[in-house]
Amino acid sequence: MERDDFQEALLEIMERKTHWAWPLFTNGRVAPDRLHLHLEQEYATYVRDFPVLVARAYIACPIPLVRRELIENVYEEETGGIQAGRPHPELFLEYPRGLKMDLSRFERVSLLPAAQRYRAFLDETTLHGGWEAGAAVTTLFVEGTAHERGELEPGAARRPSPPLEHHPLVMHYGLPLDHLQLTKAHRAVEGDHRQTAWRVMREHVRPEARSAVVEAMGRALTLWLGYRDGVAEACGLRRSQSP
């Protein structure tokens, strides 16, 4: 697989990282007494342990330049020492804290079946899939959006960045703005993270590993869509409600 074909295959997968229920979440259609289910599943499936997932790719990688890029990501996620000032998993908990949820629930989350399958895939890939697939699935798929083409091609749509006052949790659930610290941190570092992730894929993934990376990314998409289906159902949403 040639480099440009590899990049295009990855972009096409990322452009399919959309889910029918997301407009219902962003338009406040989730009942307030079920919103905690969404946040709990996100936290336990990948947010809490995201630094560990990336660190596994770092440990497996034999390329010093790539390791430096990965460990910078780990350092920011684990400590907030570059931008956020606090670990990103801790900042995530500011969402439920600001919404007056019971934070003890986040210490004992039971993953939904599809969430378990998605998380098992993340563990298997980052532990045993080789550094290329581990880095792709974490820094491209998990951190990325359907707007990745906008990070690479002039004129392509970029990730939306509306005013914080328009954040769905603020508009529909009354989250105070000062609890959006993770959103602010992501906006501050995400541009660099996107560019770094794509540079690593283009410049350092061996040609013989590219097909396996594309396969892992496709599997990530399939399991993520199932995961999001499960969360939507738990939150009382149905596909017929989607715009």
pLDDT in tens, 217-237: 999 999 999 999 999 999 999
Please check the confidence at residue 84 and state whether its pLDDT lies above 80: no
Task: Report pLDDT for 187.
Answer: 81
85 confidence band (pLDDT: 50, 70, 90): confident
State the Cα torsion 132-193-227-111 to the nearest 10°.
90
Task: Report pLDDT for 9.
Answer: 98
pLDDT of 12-21, one tens digit each?
999 999 999 9
User: Stretch 43-71: mean pLDDT, rounded?
Assistant: 97
pTM, to two decimals = 0.94
Please check the confidence at residue 77 and state whether its pLDDT lies above 80: yes
Q: Report yes or no: 142 and 133 within 8 Å, Cβ to Cβ.
A: no
pLDDT of 152-201, one tens digit each?
988 888 888 889 999 999 999 999 999 999 998 888 766 677 899 999 99
Task: Report pLDDT for 191.
Answer: 60
* Measured distance CA(113)–CA(229) in Å, rounded: 11
Residue 21's SS3 state is coil
For the chain, the straight-line distance linking the first and the last C-alpha, in angstroms and rounded, comes to: 38
In order of start, what are the domains of the chain with their CATH numbers?
3-235 (1.20.910.10)
Mean pLDDT of the chain: 94
pLDDT of 30-56, one tens digit each?
999 999 999 999 999 999 999 999 999
